[in-house]
């Protein structure tokens, strides 16, 4: 994808969320939660809902990708294989994979199904990306810790679609157990949906969001100020991470970024301030630039202009 | 397989019963510089280990940048020429070149890759990996899961039987670089900063072991070391693990005092030799448990420093962690026994 074409995508985890979200700003949607198989009505785990969801997104003329479980043990492999089967059968445009065992299953059992590799697969170098290209991978998401220059090198040298995060919370870790359930003091094995509530973890100089097994950055990564630079470096596949956010967040943030990208592509006088104002309402902890400028993930730096 | 971080302890750790030792060269391994050996010390260590007929592995198990791959291969070539038996890596981009240039080298995949299902192992085998280090968090599934993984053909399994555990999966934790990262490159372009990503040989700030507060719906729900998990203690299942034919049993600890590493290795070797002798076995287990308590106490001091100290922390940490533990602690440990 070159010139003024681009793809803006986000993720939706359940059918109910999909029906309640205005996805008109997006070109593609990732369906399903990669991080917890127990998440209620998770589209990756529910064949019937997944079919319906794929149809809804396709009817709106958008691409649809299906996320698979990120850290499967042997006991999870059958479930993951079923997700791949459902994605292939229901006409998904690609699957998102974070685990190399799942990649092996996908390439062997469903060779026609395009594969996107997620950020938890730890792609740090062009050499790894080229290896994955040999295995038939279509798109990669470099590790969050890569700076913009390193991501640009991946984008330019590997010959693969490189997706970058534009806005939202970064995944900073994934655990073997559900932490919110552990801290809830309720001794029950069943999922109580604590991760759908507003959870924060605060330590000295650090605020984190915790949702069950996933630890997210407290601050929202925001690149609205740096969009011209990101576009100049040749990126055209963009993700808005709306993990466990309100559906209003997904719709509004998507809309703001779509308008901003179009303005940055078409006009030399790009002004981010009006967009930043709209984004601030959705980020109570504040913004960061992630690792894009080879600084601490929670830092925010302003553009040089 | 036991860690080395100090040239003077190489003989001692071999005397303790290690069959293989592994260590990293400053700037090229997962651990920060302060916990690794200088290149010239590592070369001496190779000579010492080889003269005693044991094996030595080079840990090159951090994730590199694209422009560091070539230099990493040069480093492996240099150590290969001096006689290392194997190399531990995380970066998949290195595999093809290593297999092509050094086909005799035993290639182990680091714990950082969190390989945890049979298909993972098949994938890594297809790349040319000889042995995979299983993630430390696999203790949740324990021996039954390890059993299934050990059935994957033509690939060895290496497990940590003693070490730390983290709330996040190995190689899937970016908390430290989110808190603090200052990337600095040396003249060769290598990122040598101790304040870099923990996946790229930067310092791990042990955020998962610190005091924190958990807020739910606006109010404090709980406080304490909420993300902390206990130590990895798979050694309790030693008999079953041996019967599964695990290729390598490994002790973590390049960041610990060599004194502790030596004692731990000695205990584990005793346990392995006395699997059928319940009396001797149990006596060694209790000795090992008191060592683990000692290690935890040192780690608590380490945490205290991290939580209270300023930028001068690196010098203090080196003082605390790289020297053998002080006489008082050795005395306490002996009295405890």
Query: Which has the minimum average pLDDT: A70-74, A251-255, B4-8, B135-139?
Result: B135-139
What average pLDDT does the segment A153-181 reach? 91
CA angle B13, B18, B19 (to 5 degrees): 135
**Strand pairing category for B131-133 and B156-162:** parallel
Residue of A nearest to B144 (CA): A74
Given a cut of 50, whether residue A252 has pLDDT beyond it is yes
Distance of CA B99 to the CA centre of its chain: 24
A179/B175 Cβ within 8 A: no
> For residue B334, what pLDDT is reported?
43
> For residue B16, what pLDDT is reported?
92
What is the SS3 assignment for chain A? CCCCCCEEEEEECCHHHHHCCCCCCCCEEEECCCCCCCCCCCCCCCHHHHHHHHHHHHHCCCEEEEECCCCCCHHHHHHHHHHHHHHHHCCCCEEEECCHHHHHHHHHHCCCCCEEECHHHCCCCHHHHHHHHHCCEEEECCCCCCCHHHHHHHHHHCCCEEEEEEEECCEEEEECCCHHHHHCCCCCCCCCCHHHCCEEEEECCEEEEEECCEEEECCEEECHHHHHHHHHCCCCEEEEECCCCCHHHHHHHHHHHHHHHHHHHHCCCCCCHHHHHHHHCCCCCCEECCCCCCECCCCCCCCCC
The rounded distance, in Å, linking the Cα atoms of B196 and A81 is 37
Closest CB from B93, B216, B227 relative to A128:
B93
A197/B217 Cβ within 8 A: yes
Distance of CA A15 to the CA centre of its chain: 18
> For residue A2, what pLDDT is reported?
59
How many Å lie between the alpha carbon of A55 and the closest alpha carbon of chain B?
31
Interval B153-208: pLDDT, tens: 889 888 888 777 778 888 899 998 998 887 777 776 676 666 778 888 887 888 88
ipTM of the assembly? 0.93
A73/B145 Cβ within 8 A: yes
Burial class (CB in 10 A: 0-12, 13-18, 19+), B205: buried
Substitution target from A78, A104, A118 for chain B, most B beta carbons within 10 A: A104
Burial class (CB in 10 A: 0-12, 13-18, 19+), B316: middle
* Residue B182: both structure tokens together: 């200052």
Tokens 């559906």 correspond to what residue?
Answer: A247
Residue of B8 and B217 predicted with greater confidence = B8
Closest CB from A101, A125, A205 relative to B119:
A101
> For residue B21, what pLDDT is reported?
96
| B69 touches A: beta carbon within 8 Å | yes
The rounded distance, in Å, linking the Cα atoms of B183 and A294 is 6
* Residue A232: both structure tokens together: 């100049």
Given a cut of 70, whether residue B336 has pLDDT beyond it is no
Substitution target from B143, B178, B232 for chain A, most A beta carbons within 10 A: B178
* Residue A211: both structure tokens together: 């949702």
Tokens 């986000």 correspond to what residue?
Answer: A10
Residue of A nearest to B112 (CA): A122
* Residue B320: both structure tokens together: 């605390």
Residues forming a β-bridge with B125: none
A170/B116 Cβ within 8 A: no
> For residue B322, what pLDDT is reported?
45
Residue of A104 and A190 predicted with greater confidence = A104
DSSP letter at B191? Answer: B
Given a cut of 70, whether residue A66 has pLDDT beyond it is yes
> For residue B142, what pLDDT is reported?
62
The rounded distance, in Å, linking the Cα atoms of B147 and B152 is 10
> For residue B323, what pLDDT is reported?
44
Residue of A nearest to B92 (CA): A128
Query: Which has the minimum average pLDDT: A146-155, A202-211, B282-291, B300-309?
Result: B300-309
> For residue B296, what pLDDT is reported?
77
What average pLDDT does the segment B311-315 reach? 54
| A103 touches B: beta carbon within 8 Å | yes
> For residue B165, what pLDDT is reported?
73
| B176 touches A: beta carbon within 8 Å | no
The rounded distance, in Å, linking the Cα atoms of A246 and A17 is 9
Tokens 């595999």 correspond to what residue?
Answer: B95
Chain A residue numbers touching B197 (CB-CB < 8 A) = 145
A183/B226 Cβ within 8 A: yes
The rounded distance, in Å, linking the Cα atoms of A55 and B217 is 35
| A72 touches B: beta carbon within 8 Å | yes
Substitution target from A175, A193, A218 for chain B, most B beta carbons within 10 A: A175
Given a cut of 70, whether residue B311 has pLDDT beyond it is no
Inter-residue contact B161 to B268 (CB < 8 Å): yes
């Amino acid at each position: 994808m070159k010139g003024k074409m681009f793809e803006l995508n986000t993720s939706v985890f359940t059918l109910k969320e999909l029906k309640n979200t205005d996805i008109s700003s997006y070109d593609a949607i990732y369906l399903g939660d990669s991080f917890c198989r127990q998440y209620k009505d998770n589209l990756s785990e529910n064949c019937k809902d997944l079919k319906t969801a794929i149809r809804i997104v396709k009817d709106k003329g958008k691409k649809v990708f299906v996320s698979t479980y990120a850290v499967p043990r042997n006991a999870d492999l059958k479930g993951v294989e079923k997700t791949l089967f459902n994605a292939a059968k229901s006409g998904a445009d690609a699957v998102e994979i974070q685990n190399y065992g799942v990649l092996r299953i996908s390439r062997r059992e469903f060779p026609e199904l395009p594969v996107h590799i997620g950020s938890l697969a730890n792609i740090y170098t062009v050499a790894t990306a080229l290896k994955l290209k040999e295995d038939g991978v279509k798109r990669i998401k470099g590790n969050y810790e890569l700076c913009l220059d390193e991501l640009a090198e991946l984008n330019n040298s590997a010959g693969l679609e490189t997706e970058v995060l534009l806005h939202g919370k970064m995944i900073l870790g994934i655990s073997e157990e559900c932490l919110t359930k552990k801290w809830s003091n309720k001794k029950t094995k069943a999922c109580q949906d604590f991760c759908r509530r507003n959870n924060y973890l605060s330590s000295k100089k650090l605020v984190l969001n915790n949702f069950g097994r996933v630890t997210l950055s407290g601050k929202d990564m925001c690149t609205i100020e740096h969009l011209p630079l990101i576009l100049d470096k040749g990126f055209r596949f963009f993700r808005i991470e709306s993990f466990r956010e309100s559906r209003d967040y997904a719709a509004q943030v998507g809309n703001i970024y779509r308008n901003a990208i179009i303005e940055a592509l078409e006009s030399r006088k790009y002004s981010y301030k009006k967009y930043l104002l709209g984004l601030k309402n959705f980020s109570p902890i504040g913004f960061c630039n992630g690792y894009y400028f080879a600084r601490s993930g929670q830092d925010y730096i302003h553009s040089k202009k | 397989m036991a860690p080395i971080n100090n040239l003077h302890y190489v003989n001692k750790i071999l005397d303790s019963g290690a069959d293989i030792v592994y260590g990293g060269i400053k700037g090229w391994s997962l651990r920060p510089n302060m916990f690794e050996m200088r290149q010239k010390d590592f070369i001496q260590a190779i000579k010492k280990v080889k003269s005693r007929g044991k094996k030595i592995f080079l840990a090159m198990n951090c994730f590199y940048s694209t422009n560091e791959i070539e230099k990493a291969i040069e480093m492996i070539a240099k150590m290969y020429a001096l006689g290392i038996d194997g190399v531990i890596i995380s970066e998949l981009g290195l595999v093809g070149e290593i297999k092509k240039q050094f086909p005799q080298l035993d290639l182990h995949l680091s714990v950082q890759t969190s390989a945890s299902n049979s298909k993972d192992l098949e994938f890594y085998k297809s790349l040319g990996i000889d042995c995979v280090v299983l993630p430390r968090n696999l203790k949740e599934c324990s021996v039954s899961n390890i059993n299934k993984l050990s059935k994957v053909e033509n690939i060895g399994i290496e497990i940590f039987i003693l070490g730390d555990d983290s709330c996040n999966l190995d190689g899937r934790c970016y908390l430290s670089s989110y808190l603090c990262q200052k990337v600095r490159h040396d003249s060769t372009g290598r990122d040598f900063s101790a304040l870099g990503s923990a996946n790229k040989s930067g310092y791990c700030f042990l955020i998962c072991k610190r005091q924190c507060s958990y807020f739910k719906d606006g109010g404090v729900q709980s406080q304490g070391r909420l993300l902390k998990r206990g130590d990895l203690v798979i050694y309790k299942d030693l008999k079953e693990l041996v019967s599964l034919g695990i290729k390598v049993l490994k002790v973590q600890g390049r960041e610990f005092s060599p004194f502790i590493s030596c004692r731990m290795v000695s205990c584990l070797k005793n346990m392995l030799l006395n699997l059928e002798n319940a009396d001797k076995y149990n006596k060694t287990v209790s000795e090992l448990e008191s060592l683990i308590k000692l290690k935890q106490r040192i780690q608590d001091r380490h945490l205290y420093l991290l939580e209270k100290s300023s930028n001068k922390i690196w010098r203090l940490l080196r003082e605390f962690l790289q020297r053998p533990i002080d006489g008082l602690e050795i005395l306490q440990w002996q009295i405890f026994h």
